Amino acid sequence: MNTPFRNTPPFLMLEPLLIVELAALGLATGFLAGLLGIGGGGLMGPFLTLFLSVRGVPADLAVKIAIATSMATIMFTSLSSVRAHHQRGAVRWDLVRGLAPGIVFGGALASVGAFALIKGTTLAIFFALFVGFSATQMILDKKPKPSRQMPGVAGQLAMGSIVGFLSGLVGVGGGFISVPFMLAHNVPILNAVATSAALGFPIALVNTAGYVLSGSVLPGLPEYSLGYVWLPALAVIASCSVITAPLGAKVAHRLPVAKLKKIFALVLYALAAYMMWKGVRG
């Protein structure tokens, strides 16, 4: 499988328009990572899929490259945004410690095994369905019972495994699942967003390693790829996203809770619609 990227030097491969597109995407996703604790992967995936598709990369391969590259950038946005949240005392590190082991297990299972076996267009449809579900949960804003608390060690291990596995399949930082989950267990939204940002790093680290491993022998990838991760796009997006992630975290601590939830839900619906269209269209 050949693409227009093959055998092209990295700086010529990133023509000026594409550099501008990737930089704008990095700035936007960094801000949203800090604001919503979503890592930015949910926004990067659809847009990177679009950028690659219009340049001739087949849809199935474009989706997988976009998911893997998006996940790799979360390592940088997560560190930047969580630092800002931690300075405000919003991160629940006890929950990070409880969920992280399961996240590592689930992420490895997804990125090394399932990701390489499932078609990219199928992943796009799956992405749309679970993101749309998360948005609906936010819009409905069901109030949990006041007595409902986070589960114990076994429950957090199990939930972490689910978060890690689903994140690995669709290249997101886990906030689409972990934030609603924590809200349903009476964790305040600012703590849920900040804790989700902290969870983004182990999610991104283990899944990126899996994407590199599972794509290491795949033919037809763009030049200067490391497995499924396209390094030039990673460099541009990551360098821009770390600039705006602290700003997003700062804004999150000033917005009313209800408005923050609505923003979260609207972002999810828009991304779900695009990825559903991409998956169905094939």
Q: Does the structure show a pLDDT above 80 at 101?
A: yes
User: Does some domain include residue 124?
Assistant: yes
Residue 69 contacts residue 57 (beta carbons within 8 Å): no
Q: Between 144 and 147, name the one with better pLDDT.
A: 147
Q: Between 6 and 99, name the one with better pLDDT.
A: 99
The DSSP H or E segment spanning 147 is none
Query: How many CA atoms does the CB half-sphere of 115 hold within 13 Å?
Result: 35
Q: Does the structure show a pLDDT above 70 at 109?
A: yes
Q: How confident is the model at residue 2 (pLDDT cuts 50, 70, 90)?
A: very low
Q: What is the rounded average pLDDT of the residues 59-85?
A: 83
Give the domain range for residue 132.
13-281
Number of domains in the chain: 1
pLDDT tens per residue, range 152-209: 888 889 988 988 888 777 766 677 678 778 888 888 878 888 888 888 888 889 889 8
User: Does some domain include residue 255?
Assistant: yes
- At 144 the pLDDT is 60
Q: What is the rounded average pLDDT of the residues 40-53?
A: 79
Q: Does the structure show a pLDDT above 70 at 254?
A: yes
Q: What is the rounded average pLDDT of the residues 254-276?
A: 74
User: Does some domain include residue 173?
Assistant: yes
User: Does some domain include residue 4?
Assistant: no
- At 203 the pLDDT is 86
SS (H, E, C) 70-134: HHHHHHHHHHHHHHHHHHCCCCCHHHHHHHHHHHHHHHHHHHHHHHHHCCHHHHHHHHHHHHHHH
Q: Between 24 and 216, name the one with better pLDDT.
A: 24
Q: Does the structure show a pLDDT above 70 at 88?
A: yes
Q: What is the rounded average pLDDT of the residues 241-250?
A: 82
Q: Does the structure show a pLDDT above 60 at 5?
A: no
Q: What is the rounded average pLDDT of the residues 3-25?
A: 67
Chain centroid, CA 209 distance in Å: 15
Q: What is the rounded average pLDDT of the residues 86-112?
A: 88
The label of the residue with tokens 């770390």 reads 242
User: Does some domain include residue 122?
Assistant: yes
Alpha-carbon distance 280 to 282, whole Å?
5
Q: Does the structure show a pLDDT above 50 at 10?
A: no
User: Does some domain include residue 1?
Assistant: no
Instruction: Determine how many CB atoms are found less than 10 A away from the CB of residue 201.
Output: 22
